[in-house]
Structure formats: C-alpha cells, structure tokens
Chains A and B, each alone.
Chain A
Amino acid sequence: MSVTPSPWRRNEAELIESVRGGDREAFYDLVRPYERMIYATAISVVKNTADAEEVAQEAVLKAFSGLSGFRGEAKFSTWLLQITYNEAKMKLRKARPNLYESLDDQPQNEEGDFWPKDFADWRPIPSELLEQNEIRQAVHDAIDSLSPCYREVLVLRDVQQLSIKETTTILGISEGNVKTRLHRARLLLRDSLAPGIDGCWIKGQAYKKVRPW
C-alpha cells in the first residue's frame, strides 16, 4: 500500500527541489518553520544566546550548501537539527578544548536508581502560572542547571516534542540511552521545580508537603 505524502511534506519536498534548482527564496520558506527548533537545539548545548545564534547561523549555512547531500532518509527537520547539534558540539570543543568530554558531560550513575528528593504534592498547575515571567525563568534556569547529557535529551524530547527516534538520530545515542537520560532529566527537574522547596508557586498560599518520614 502506498502512503500518500501529507500536503506539508510534499510542499517541503518541492521546496527542497526548488532550492536545488537555485531558488534561494525557497530556502527561507524551507527553514523558517524550524528556526525556533534550531535555536533551542543550539542553546541546549552552548548555553549562551550569542553562541547559540552563531551556531544556528553556521548550521543553516551548512544546510544550504549541503542540501544536495540530503537524501530524505530522515525528515528534513531531523537532518537540520542533526547539523545544528554537531555544529554546537564543535563550537564547544573549540571554546574549551581541554574540557571537552569532561566528566561533567557524562551521565552519572545512569544505572542506579533515582530517589526523589521530595514527595511534594503538586496541585495541577493553573495555566495562568505559565504566563508568569518568574515561572518561565525558573523553568529556564532549572533546564540550564542540568548536566549537558540530560539537558540535550530533555530539550529535544520535551521542549521540542520530538519523537524518541528523531532524538536518537540527532544525538547519535541509543533509544535506551534517550529513555534513561530523559527519565533522569525529568526527575531532576521535578526536584528543582517542585513547589515548596524554594517557596510556593502561588505567593501567600501555604504549601502542604507530603513527606514519608
């Protein structure tokens, strides 16, 4: 049974053909929907905005000149993010050649069990809380504080909502590693974001903790 490509995918394939035929404008249309993803992928590795922007630019230029090498085995977005991730890693390596592959980048005790620090009972998050800048900043800081190997997986899976398969392709790690690191990342974030540790989500409201001891 043949699978009919979605209009979007067909459109993307047409855009790729146009770019290959020399239409530079088509390249803008091709990349525009993924700008945010490119930037988020870059910043999950290099951590600062100026470097992330530089990485994004380098990756997009590389994608443009390397488009003839794109065979359509993966989605265009996966290919683009893979280039971005590799560019970002390269940037890090150049910036701190001695620290590359440092212990900091290795998953710690990946096989071991993770014990939650706290059994804080979160109320469902009221959606208006997500609009508050301080919450947004808290989430950003918490992601920033994760070790790179956890942060990268979390940004691809939970921030950008990519599939496990796409994540394995971009990061070049196994499905098992994606799952284990994502698990660790989520629980670490839960620990650092749980209300009650650094105060309440809602100011002025008493917070009830549930502790097993």
Chain B
Amino acid sequence: MPTIEISCVEVWREISNYLDNEISAELRERMEAHFKGCAHCTAVLDGTRNVVKLVGDGKAFQIPDGFSKRLYRKVQKLP
C-alpha cells in the first residue's frame, strides 16, 4: 500500500513527538517519506534535534559554588 502523503504543516506539528517516539508507526512512516523529499522539514527536524542535544548536555544550569555546603548547613540546623 502506498504511504499517504503528509503536508509540511502536519509534519511540523509532530516533530517533537517524532523525536520522542510518541507517534504511531504509520505516522512515522509517512513523516519519514516526507523528510526524504523535503529539505525544509529535514532542516527543521535536524535543528530541533540539535536543540534537544544542546539543552540536554546539562551545562545550561550550573549549581552555584558552595550550594551543597549551604544546603546541608540548613538541614543541620533543623531541630
């Protein structure tokens, strides 16, 4: 059975769910077929994937120096 075509707008709507694997196998197949022929959507997909990678490297939120020490001092003071 041929894959049913999907529009760019529909693809953008599902890009995040696609990355999280939160879509049906059928939709995944349709999106993959679309990416093969659409440079713009592939660019949006790659960019979004890169964003997830950049954000997830854990370095955007560094704990301030001495954070642990001050935290445990507070616990120590508890009655």
Contact = CB atoms under 8 A, between A and B. Distances in A.
Interface residue tally of chain B, by bracket?
A: 35 or more
A64 B75 contact: yes
Contacts of B75: 24, 27-28, 60-61, 64
Interface in B10-66: 12-13, 15-17, 19-20, 22, 39-40, 43-44, 46-48, 50-61, 63-64
A8 interface: no
B6 to A, nearest CB: 14
A86 B45 CA distance: 34
A191 to B, nearest CB: 9
Binding site of A, secondary structure by majority: helix, strand, loop or mixed? helix
Contacts of B74: 57, 60-61
Interface residues of A, number: 51
Contacts of B54: 125, 130, 135, 139, 193
B24 to A, nearest CB: 14
Contact of A49 (B13, B64, B70, B78): B64
Nearest to A136: B59
Contacts of A57: 70-71, 74
B70 A53 contact: yes
A139 B55 contact: yes
A116 B44 contact: yes
13 contacts: A35-B71, A39-B67, A53-B64, A53-B70, A115-B12, A116-B12, A119-B39, A122-B43, A140-B60, A140-B61, A179-B16, A190-B51, A210-B40
